[in-house]
A and B are shown apart, each in its own frame.
Chain A
Amino acid sequence: MANNFNVTVQDDPKPPMPFSMIEGMMPMYPMIAMLGFLMVLIAVVVGYLQLAPAELDFFADAKAVREGADVGSSFVNGNVSRHLIEAWVPSFKLLGLGLGLMAINMALGIIAKRLRLMGKVVNAHMPENLRPAIPEIPKKVKVMQMLAMMGVMTLVITFIVSLVMMGVASSYWDNSIANTLNPAQAGSELLTQLGTLSSYNAWLAPLRIVGMGMLFTGILIALSVIIYNLRVQSELLVDFTRRAEKR
């Protein structure tokens, strides 16, 4: 591989799919970080411009009035809007944070790769008979890449589930609370929908944190690879220096 150091260093073998794709995407980390930041910003804007007005619409009058309001009234519409927004925004926001964490993973991966390249360049400047063998790429690099991808995929899945739940929320809350929702009897479709809406967040919210946990684990592994690179390079350089001094 040609570089700016006037030496030729050997490229690492191209990893198989999907690792080659992941490595190809790694230099895009600034763009992915900005995308994640924008998504979190959009969540703030939606909260301010849509969720807050919907809450204002719904809580504008007494409990008896808003619960007795019929379908099509501003109370019911406000109630539908606030439940729809609350269904998708948390997952969207966490997906944005997840993209930020993935960008950190990618940046650390790039640093580890550059350190390896630096090591190869120094190695290429050593006399051939004193040159140490280039260490293998640690296997945990692949684990780090897989965890980062799985973490983001988990967050994408939670977002898709949230979008599906919007349909259920819209169907349930677009009813008069006092006249239709409260009198619903066991076994009715409305109560089944209420059961779904009241229970899905119990596993979806922790699943989002599991996704974040995978990304955090990826970052920890990436850091351990960087530390490993620095340590091994120091060991090889010390070994080289000792052998060179003895000549």
Chain B
Amino acid sequence: MANIQAAKQPWEVNMSALLGLVGATLIMISFLIGLFILTPTASDYFGNNAKIHRDCAGVDSSVTTAFDGPKALAARCATEDSAGDGGTALQDQLVTLTSTNRWKEPLAFVGVASFMAGIALAFSSIPALLKNRGDVMAAAYKQILAQGA
């Protein structure tokens, strides 16, 4: 019995709790950005602007280009986009919508990975605890028999 000790709290348990907290935080940040930034931006960009207006945002007819496509678009914008140049505001919205998702989604998955790392760490502490439980049980078993309960 002299050397038998109960297992201490494994460091993996505290670490897994920390990783779980980090995971939950990253996932919540991703959700809040989606809810409060991307949703109203997308709703405004697509819901309040006709396609011609979105396509013509920032198009400057005075800029010369060698390509037919941009020339045709500039000409179309000059005649058809009665709402006028949406300019930087619409383009800013488009930039926000396209660029934010490029890091927001991976961020949420970092959160998921953090949870998984935490779960793996918690699992990794169990074999040592089971071994300790077996050793302690073996010592206790002798005493249970000796005491003749």
Which residues from chain A sit less than 8 Å from chain B, CB to CB?
122, 125-128, 130, 181-187, 191-192, 194-200, 202-203, 205-207, 209-210, 212-213, 216-217, 219-220, 223-224, 226-227, 230-231, 233-235, 237-238, 240-242, 244-245, 247
Counting chain B CB atoms within 10 Å of each CB, the highest count among A125, A187, A241 belongs to A241
Q: Which of A185, A213, A241 lies in contact with B112, CB distance below 8 A? A: A213
Q: Which chain A positions have C-beta within 8 A of B13?
A: 224, 227
Please name all residues of chain A whose beta carbon is closer than 8 Å to the beta carbon of B104 when the two chains form the complex. 206
Interface SS of A by simple majority: helix
Residues of B near A197 (CB, < 8 A) are 46
Contact call A186/B50, Cβ cutoff below 8 A: yes
| Contact A199:B125 (CB < 8 A) given known A125-B149, A241-B143 | no
Q: List 22 A-B contacts (CB under 8 A).
A: A126-B147, A186-B50, A186-B83, A191-B47, A194-B47, A195-B45, A197-B46, A200-B39, A202-B42, A203-B35, A209-B108, A219-B119, A223-B122, A224-B122, A230-B132, A231-B6, A237-B6, A237-B139, A238-B136, A238-B139, A244-B146, A245-B1
List 8 extra interface pairs beyond A202-B38, A220-B16, CB under 8 A.
Answer: A128-B149, A182-B51, A187-B48, A203-B38, A206-B104, A209-B111, A230-B126, A240-B140
Which residues of B (134-149) have their CB < 8 Å from a CB of A? 136-137, 139-140, 143-144, 146-149
Asked, given contacts A127-B147, A241-B4, whether A210 binds B126 with beta carbons under 8 Å apart, the answer is no
Residues of chain A within 8 A (CB-CB) of B143 are 240-241, 244-245
A231 B31 Cβ-Cβ under 8 A: no
Given contacts A203-B34, A213-B112, A230-B7, contact A191 B20 (CB under 8 A): no
The B interface, classified by DSSP as helix, strand, loop or mixed, is helix
In the assembled complex, the Cα of A184 lies from the Cα of B49 at a distance in Å of 9
Max chain B C-beta neighbours (<10 A), residue from A184, A192, A224: A224
- Which chain A residues lie closer than 8 Å to B43 at the CB level? 195-196, 198-199
- Judge whether B119 and A223 touch: CB under 8 Å: yes
Inter-chain contact B133/A234, CB cutoff 8 Å: yes
Closest 6 CB pairs of A and B: A195-B47, A202-B38, A199-B42, A216-B115, A244-B143, A206-B31
- The answer, among B24, B34, B44, B108, for a CB contact under 8 Å with A195, is B44
Partner of B136, one of A125, A212, A223, A234: A234
Q: Is the CB of A130 within 8 A of B136?
A: no
CB distance from A107 to the nearest CB of B (A): 13
Interface residues of B in 42-67 (CB under 8 A from A): 42-53
Chain B residues, Cβ within 8 Å of A127? 144, 147-149
Provide the bound-state CA to CA distance between A64 and B61, in Å. Answer: 24
Residue among B16, B49, B104, B143 with max Cβ neighbours from chain A (10 Å): B143
**B27 partner, pick from A209, A240, A241, beta carbons under 8 A:** A209
A216 near B20 with CB under 8 A, answer yes
Complex: A181 Cα to B146 Cα, angstroms: 86
Q: How far, in whole Å, are A235 and B133 apart by their CA atoms in the complex? A: 9
Q: Is the CB of B129 within 8 A of A199?
A: no
